[in-house]
Structure 1
């Protein structure tokens, strides 16, 4: 079992809650997990600890959204995501985590500010695109591999499609669930799924699963316009936090 202080376990529980809420449909919340844990351990160890929690929470999310997803969006984004995960594995010892964190944060900040400053752009729904899906899916897969922070590039691709909140949440859940299953292979090969991490993850998983149910209830009652405003502001806040973390 990991040796954490009381404060460290509090942060770990909060991180697990954020993962569960994300799997219940509030996707951007999960980006807080690794930054929170990075306050008491290395980002690499934090990512290794949280992956089993993500995978276990995926089960609850997939059951909840078993019929609510857009297959076209998944088909255009997943091939790039798998390639991005492979790239992350190949360069795991070459690229500093702070560099990837900074890039993810900047992408999220630019996209969120653009949506807030020019809200009229959000009105026209776009169609799924193989080219855009491959690019943003690849970036999402890569950044998800490094620090479970694939939400901003994923949102850059998916939010302009203007899916309904439930379909948006379900498609996001399916996308990252598949990415997390794929990530198990390189994470195991890199030694990030240690016995200590797995034991701690087993303790934290029930917290995350309960939070899946909470997130599911919230996403089904939030009005669509408010939903997109919340995830845009959430993207901005978390992205600024990632930029600060990288530069610090």
Structure 2
């Protein structure tokens, strides 16, 4: 066993934490399904709610990289609609998360991933026209995105469904997603610190050690995205998300 900042790890645990950081770096530069893989990996080490607090500073650090690289491609028309409703979802998620146990956290994580995979497959089979392109749909997505982001850091699948249905070009998809999560994740920090007590100085110091692996993942993500066509990119997201769902239900 190895002790770091009051946390005790096996060597396998440390490898998994490093792998999580690589996946998060990849997700912030376009390989969004990789972020879904990170969630169940970290949950096996820390449990459901505690892992969401450990993961959040990693996400915050990686968000800066994603926005730095893709900031020019954001669709602010969509972001202006989503931000206030995502904030409401975060508050709702904080309240609900205060009353559920760790087992229920994992159940919610698995359900969110599986439902998102089903919806994305449905969209790819030619049903995009059936998705509403109105304010009500955007409001509902914002609330659900904020809620699932707070309860499990799993809004990536929710927002992927929304932005894919909006038919945003690849770089605009990535840039808009990067801005959405940077703002939302920073907004979540006080709730984790003062309401759930899942982030402490020890958590932050531990996550700082993952910076080299986040950078590695970010570079890998840029390399992958540049080599995928629009259609291949959408199927890549769906495939990575499906792998995460299967892993969570093991």
In structure 2, the partner of 1:40 is: 45
- 5+ residue gaps, structure 1: none
Structure 2 CA distance, aligned partners of 1:134 and 1:28? 23
Equivalences for residues 62-77 of structure 1 within 5 A: 62-77=67-82
1:75-114 Cα shifts (integer Å, max 9, x gaps): 2222221111011112222133134224303321321332
Residue 206 of structure 2 is matched in structure 1 by: 200
> When the two structures are superposed, what TM-score results if normalisation uses the length of structure 1?
0.89
Instruction: Report if the CA contact (8 A) 1:49-1:201 is conserved.
Output: yes
Matched, 1:82 2:90: no
Equivalent residue for 2:145, pick from 140, 165, 168: 140
Alignment match, 2:187: 182
Distance in 2 between the 1:236 and 1:104 partners? 11
**Where does residue 109 of structure 1 map in the other structure?**
117
SS at match of 2:117: helix
CA contact (8 A) 1:21 1:215 kept: yes
2 CA distance for matches of 1:221 and 1:67?
20
Measured in 1, the distance between the counterparts of 2:98 and 2:107 equals: 13
Query: What does residue 236 of structure 1 align with?
Result: 242
What corresponds to 2:215 in structure 1? 209
1:169 to 157, 168, 174: 174
Q: What is the rounded CA distance, in whole Å, between the counterparts of 2:23 and 2:134 in structure 1?
A: 30
Is the partner of 1:66 in helix, strand or coil? helix
Q: Distance in 2 between matches of 1:197 and 1:100?
A: 24
Residues 145-160 of structure 1 aligned to structure 2 (within 5 Å):
145-160=150-165
Please state how far the C-alpha of 1:63 moved relative to its aligned partner: 0.7
Q: Distance in 2 between matches of 1:228 and 1:61?
A: 18
Instruction: Report the alpha carbon displacement of residue 163 of structure 1 after superposing the two structures with TM.
Output: 1.0
The number of residues matched between the two structures is 241
Structure 2 gaps of 5+ residues are none
Distance 1:104 1:126 in 2: 19
Give, in whole Å, the separation in 2 of the partners of 1:69 and 1:177: 12
In structure 2, distance between residues paired with 1:205 and 1:17: 9
Q: 1:28 to 1:111 in 2, by over 3 A?
A: same
The one of 60, 63, 66 equivalent to 1:58 is 63
